[in-house]
Amino acid sequence: MTDTQDLYREIRPYNDAEVTEVLNRLLYDDEFISAVTEYQFPRAAAYLGWLLKPVARIALARKVGEVETIRACQELVASYMEKMIARSTTKLTCSGIDQLDPDEAYLFISNHRDIAMDPAFVNWVRFQYKMDTVRIAIGDNLLSKPYVSDLMRLNKSFIVNRSAKGPREMMAALTQLSGYINDSIRTGHSVWIAQREGRAKDGNDSTDPAILKMFYMSQRKSGSFAEVSKRLNIVPVSISYEYDPCDYLKANELFALAKDGQYEKSQHEDIDSIVKGIVGQKGHVHVAFGDVINGDFETPEALAAEIDRQIISNYYLHPSNYLAAGDAEKCSGSESADFDARLARVANGAQDILRQMYANPVLNKQRLEGS
């Protein structure tokens, strides 16, 4: 085990030496096996779970029996991803990936619509092009269940410590995270991170300069902000879903906030959103890789503006976006009917919010082109 792995042990992904132990732990995690059983047997699990859970455990043990490396874990995940994409999307496309050097490490800063699927689609596209998968930043608020943490870290996720309390603890956590991201790029490992904390539930994609400041925290002695940023090989990424499986949940949450001034999340609501995002219908999904940012951006705010420009300009607009923005001429009757059905899933008060969620990418692109 290297010094770097020891330094970042609390937050880093698992390594090959840890795979067997973690997989064995998962096989005897009853909650995880229950989740697998429900996925494999969605109708029968409710009343035959007691019988099907041992079957699911044995079948899973056979599948992971020969898995001893992170790459082997990801190849197993790829087989499930292929089935999920076939079931839940009508089409998956990408652009800009041909401009990336397979031998270079990049910091992919992405808009954020879906908790699990945003980085999963980036990884899937890279996997198809025979490129290494990325290390994924994930908030510790999503790791309330031990088996979820294990699964994420087997899939090259590293932990963003959002639960740190007090200035000193927060500073230490952010500096450790900054060091890990910089070390990852320096040692040839690409990284995915969202442009802001939390999903853009209203459809407005904007980069939080505080995240960009964090990249610099551990590198103050090694150059200016502009110099450190250029070394990170930042590539903005725009991910667009024709349909967001969690759109009605987001619309209801935003409506509750507007109406009552507050919204109380249930204990495992984020986990529920992860599941809905994975299995829900997405229609056409497009992943757009932007250009490597190599300009001299002296401040986090200036760099954030360039990331926003690329994410908005590269965002692929779907019929659902045009319909929401009032431009039905570019859409068919069936597409219009599909979108109306989407609106019908939420209460009247939340319908305008859901419509605006899909319209904002169109309006933001129009404002960008107008400026």
SS (H, E, C) the chain: CCHHHHHCCCCCCCCHHHHHHHHHHHHCCHHHHHHHHHHHCCCCHHHHHHHHHHHHHHHHHHHHCCCCCHHHHHHHHHHHHHHHHHHHEEEEEEECHHHCCCCCCCEEEECCCCCCHHHHHHHHHHHHCCCCCCEEEEEHHHCCCHHHHHHHHHCCEEEECCCCCCHHHHHHHHHHHHHHHHHHHHCCCCEEEECCCCCCCCCCCCCCHHHHHHHHHCCHHHCCHHHHHHHCCEEEEEEEECCCCCHHHHHHHHHHHHHHCCCCCCCCHHHHHHHHHHHCCCEEEEEEECCCCCCCCCCHHHHHHHHHHHHHHHCCCCHHHHHHCCCHHHCCHHHHHHHHHHHCCCCHHHHHHHHHHHHHHHHHHHHHHHC
Q: What is the mean pLDDT of residues 225-234?
A: 97
Residues in the chain: 371
Amino acid residing at 2: T
* pLDDT of 2 strictly over 50: no
Would you tell me how many other CB atoms lie within 10 Å of the CB of residue 1? 9
* pLDDT of 343 strictly over 90: yes
* pLDDT of 3 strictly over 50: no
* pLDDT of 145 strictly over 80: yes
Grade residue 144 by pLDDT with cuts at 50, 70 and 90: confident
Q: What pLDDT score does 5 carry?
A: 53
Grade residue 347 by pLDDT with cuts at 50, 70 and 90: confident
* pLDDT of 62 strictly over 70: yes
Q: What pLDDT score does 38 carry?
A: 81
Cα dist from 238 to 156, 222, 252, 348, 359, whole Å: 21, 30, 25, 30, 16
* pLDDT of 1 strictly over 50: no
pLDDT in tens, 13-50: 999 999 999 999 999 999 899 888 887 787 777 777 66
Percentage, residues of the chain above pLDDT 90: 78
* pLDDT of 355 strictly over 70: yes
Tokens standing for 325?
């923005």
Q: What is the mean pLDDT of residues 89-112?
A: 97
Q: Are 13 and 160 in contact (CB under 8 A)?
A: no
Grade residue 112 by pLDDT with cuts at 50, 70 and 90: very high
pLDDT in tens, 175-229: 999 999 999 999 999 999 999 999 999 999 999 999 999 999 999 999 999 999 9
Among 43, 224, 206, 6, residue whose Cα is nearest residue 109? 206
Among 132, 217, 149, 151, residue whose Cα is nearest residue 181? 217
* pLDDT of 141 strictly over 90: no
CATH 3.80.10 holds for 69-370: no
Grade residue 371 by pLDDT with cuts at 50, 70 and 90: low
Tokens standing for 147?
């088996």
Ranges of each domain in the chain: 15-68, 69-370
* Average per-residue pLDDT for the chain: 93
pLDDT in tens, 260-296: 888 888 877 887 888 899 989 999 999 999 999 999 9
Q: What is the pTM of this model?
A: 0.93
